[in-house]
Chain A
Amino acid sequence: MRKLISLVLFLATVVVSGSFAAYPSKTVKLIVPSKAGGSTDTTARLFAQTAKKYWKNTDFIIIDKPGSGGLMGFEAEARSRPDGYTIGLMFTPQIVAHIVAKRASYTLKSFKIIGNIAEDPEIVVVPAQSSVKNLDELVKLAKSKKITAAVNGIGSDDFLAAKNFESATGVKFNLMPTRGSTEEKAAILGNHIEVAFMNLSQMLAQHKAGKARIIAIMAKKRSSVAMDIKTSVEQGYNVLMTATRGMLISSKVKKNIAAKIEDLYTKVVNDKGFQAKCKKAYIFLDPMNSSEYTAYLEQLQKDTQKVYDVSPW
């Protein structure tokens, strides 16, 4: 028992002395609200690797908290100790979709948004065997018969994109929610369904190999990695959707510490090595600073609310 008490005292001393040191003096935790090995996880690991270059004496560890479309992770980030040693990864539109669907106990106000790192634009993809070559033909087909469209879960970016597309064109899909993008991929490559709403990185390789056809990218401008794919706007459909992956901390973190984290973020996203690695890993960088990204998220929440009000989930 005496040993135990002395151990407790020892640990307490270590902690107390540690908390007076200048930030950052301890290990920084990066919370990833999804599974190990996924694209958000890889983004975080590459970020940590590069961040180590700028904060030489600080260690970074990745904590994966998967579950419920990121909700478990977002909640943990909102509850985290506001000492600046916990930085959260986040992705849209799920982070606002949970607020809109009244599942979340946090709001956007719970966070100080650091900035966006990457984006993955939404695409419309059909099987290689399909006769559909563009959005016009897709709408024509959908009006002639009931066609099945796969989306990755309800309330996801895919789902919102499909719903927005439906309301913009007046068609009605047979919506087939899947458990993960792998199922969507298998269903398209195997020609089991007519169309799927997915993210660019998930189908780009298959598109280039001619095993599936991406007929539109739901963005204002084409993607530099696939210049042959026309945007939805070019084809006359003003339906936009993208998944962004950014960074946040608790809103209660002190201003001077938050500024240091923002500075680190800026250094990392402008790092040439980081940029090169992300390119290889199919992570499309799209940095947005704190105020731009906060405004983006607030607008996104309003847009998502509109979809929810029409067809709640």
Chain B
Amino acid sequence: MSKKYIDIVLSIFFIVLAVLLYRSTATFPKSALFTTAVYIKFLSYMLAIASFVQLVISSRSDASIKVIFARDPKKFFILILSLIVYVWIMRYLGFILSTLIFLPVTMKYMGYNKFLKSILITAGITLFVYILFVKLFEIQLPEATIIFGAAL
């Protein structure tokens, strides 16, 4: 993707944000009017100015410069997806079960092919986190709500 056009779109987005921010202060209660509202207005001026300068710089820049987000897009998107799925299933399976699934799967897709070692690493990390967080620090990790019912 061309950096120039992304930059232009983002600059316009931030200018709009600045305007919205400025306008939001109109509804502030009296006790905030000469204190926090002033601060927020100041931020919106600054953002509008900086975004406008960036808009000018970008529109003059060379359109042939491309942004490469990932040199290995397959792995990149798999990681994003697996992170989202990991956090999603944690709500139901709890920390331990979902980590036991997430670790070997992610290692595999990131290119680690030694099956036995990856199982050992998975067990090791999960055990380490369990001992450190649960046993030593008494932090309650997310529970498996499918088994235990509604969580906190």
Contact among A8, A15, A29, A175 for B148, CB-based, below 8 A: A15
Q: Is the CB of A86 within 8 A of B147?
A: no
CA distance A29 to B97 in the complex (A): 22
- Partner of B152 from the list A7, A12, A15, A80 (CB cut-off 8 Å) is A80
Bound-complex Cα distance A79 to B150 (A):
9
**Size class of the contact patch on chain A:** 10 to 19
Q: Are A15 and B147 in contact (CB under 8 A)?
A: yes
Given A4-B100, A11-B144, A81-B138 contact (CB < 8 Å): no
* A62 on the B face (CB < 8 A): yes
CB neighbours (8 Å) of A80 from chain B are 152
Cα of A80 to Cα of B143 in the assembled complex, Å? 13
B100 touches A79 (CB 8 A): no
**CA of A29 to CA of B147, assembled, Å:** 18
Query: Inter-chain contact count A-B, CB under 8 Å?
Result: 30
Bound CA span A29–B149, Å: 15
Contacts of B113 in A (CB 8 A): none
| B138 x A12 contact (CB < 8 A) | no
With A4-B100, A61-B138 as contacts: A31 and B144 at CB distance below 8 Å: no
Smallest distance from the beta carbon of A73 to chain B beta carbons, Å?
10
Pairwise interchain contact B152-A61, C-beta atoms closer than 8 A: no
Contact assessment for A29 and B144 in the assembled complex, using a CB-CB cutoff below 8 Å:
no
Chain A's closest residue to B101 (CB) is A4
Question: Does B140 reach chain A (CB closer than 8 Å)?
Answer: yes
B147 partner, pick from A4, A11, A31, A175, beta carbons under 8 A: A11
Task: Tell me if A147 counts as interface (CB < 8 A to partner B).
Answer: no
| Pairwise interchain contact B152-A79, C-beta atoms closer than 8 A | yes
Minimum distance in angstroms from B60 CB to a CB of chain A: 44
Cβ-closest chain A residue relative to B148: A15
Given the contacts A8-B97, A81-B150, A63 and B140 also touching, CB distance less than 8 Å: yes
Contact A29 B140 (CB under 8 A): yes
In angstroms, Cα B145 to Cα A81, docked, is 11
| Chain A residues closer than 8 Å to B149, beta-carbon distance | 81
Given A31-B152, A79-B152, A62 and B147 contact (CB-CB distance below 8 Å)? no
Closest CB in chain A relative to B124 CB, distance in Å = 16
A62, B97: Cβ atoms closer than 8 Å:
no
Q: Among the interface residues A8, A65, A76, which one has the most CB atoms of the partner chain B within 10 A?
A: A8
Q: Which of B101, B140, B150 contacts A61 (CB 8 A)?
A: B140
Interface contact A63-B152, CB-CB below 8 Å: yes
Give chain B residues whose Cβ lies under 8 Å from the Cβ of A86.
152
Note all chain A residues with C-beta closer than 8 A to B148: 15
Q: Mark B58-85, 1 if CB is under 8 A from A, else 0.
A: 0000000000000000000000000000
Beyond A76-B152, A81-B150, 8 additional pairs, beta carbon < 8 A: A4-B97, A4-B100, A8-B97, A11-B147, A12-B147, A65-B152, A79-B152, A81-B151
**Cβ-closest 9 pairs across A and B:** A61-B138, A76-B152, A63-B140, A81-B150, A12-B147, A15-B147, A11-B147, A81-B149, A80-B152
